[in-house]
Amino acid sequence: MSRIPFIAGNWKMYKTGPEAVETARILTQLCSNVQDIDIIIAPTFLSLPLVAASLEGSNIKIGAQNVYFEKQGAFTGEVSADMIKAAGAEYVIIGHSERRQYFGETNALVCKKIKAAIEVGLKPILCIGESESQRNEEKTFLTLDKQVSDGLKGFGLDELKDLVVAYEPVWAIGTGKTATADQVKKVHQYLRSLLGKLFSKDFADQTRIVYGGSVKPENVKELMGIEDVDGALVGGASLDANIFTNIINYDI
Ligand code: PEP
């Protein structure tokens, strides 16, 4: 089963609107010849419509970094799936470890957010990953199992057809520490078989499972060469269009 490589840049809380547009403009030029890879950038909510306009007609797609699960209402400071869609996004990152860690997001909340995203046709990027202490206590698989099972609870196969799963060990995010090829391989294999058990073998075979955690031009080729790794979710190294392009061109 061939899965299209998926390389996404999470710009976190960096870049003003004009800065985001400028980076997107450079990236569009540098990546204009890239084919057969899904390239996504996820700027802040404020920059979404601006970046979407500047990417029109290019081969780069847009994602949001978060979504609220309610459709609308008195939820000061929140942004709905409809609003994100209308701003031009195709994907939405859900359950990033920074949201779980600093904003108390639980697996149950993540599940509601995925539902809200799917209802409007946004493609969810479900982030999961163990903390350093969970890994040291040999609770990696237990943690991931719960994040996937609870995060995807109650969904039918049809609803999850565009799901992307991002395995991001918390201890590797923004730390410069990358998981070893062996660690990544074991987890991705485990996740694919878990999706098979929870849903179906076909679903597991078609779902992209990407790695995130200090991905850079120096390590992306090795990571992409690991069986069951279908792409990368990149934080820090996606902020510079040239560096991110080198990651996207991992195969050249
Ligand atoms: C991320 O934010 O999802 C991430 C993986 O960050 P970094 O690449 O900086 O570790």
pLDDT, position 177:
87
pTM: 0.97
Other beta carbons less than 10 A from residue 36's beta carbon: 9
Q: What are 11's two structure tokens?
A: 């710009």
Q: What is the pLDDT of residues 182-233, one digit of tens each?
A: 999 999 999 999 999 999 999 999 999 999 999 999 999 999 999 999 999 9
Q: Whose CA is nearest to atom 3 of ligand 1?
A: 235
ipTM metric:
0.98
Q: Whose CA is nearest to atom 1 of ligand 1?
A: 235
CA-to-CA dists, residue 28 to 23, 45, 48, 64, angstroms: 9, 20, 15, 18
Residue located via tokens 């929870």: 198
Q: Would you please indicate which residues are annotated as catalytic (active-site) residues?
A: 96, 168
Architecture (CATH level 2) of domain 6-248: Alpha-Beta Barrel (3.20)
Q: What is the pLDDT of residues 168-178, one digit of tens each?
A: 999 999 898 88
Q: What is the pLDDT of residues 121-143, one digit of tens each?
A: 999 999 999 999 999 999 999 99
Ligand 1 atom closest to 10 (CA): 2
Q: Does the pLDDT of residue 252 top 90, yes or no?
A: no
Helix intervals (H) in 104-216: 107-119, 132-136, 140-151, 181-198, 201-206
The residue ranges of every structural domain in the chain are: 6-248
pLDDT, position 2:
85
Q: What is the pLDDT of residues 88-106, one digit of tens each?
A: 999 999 999 999 999 999 9
Residues 6+ apart with CB under 8 A from 245: 27, 30, 31
pLDDT, position 1:
63
Ligand 1 centroid from CA 234, angstroms: 5
Distance between CA atoms of 196 and 189, rounded to whole angstroms?
Answer: 11
Q: Does the pLDDT of residue 18 top 90, yes or no?
A: yes
Pocket of ligand 1 (CB under 6 A): 10, 12, 168, 173-174, 212-215, 233-237
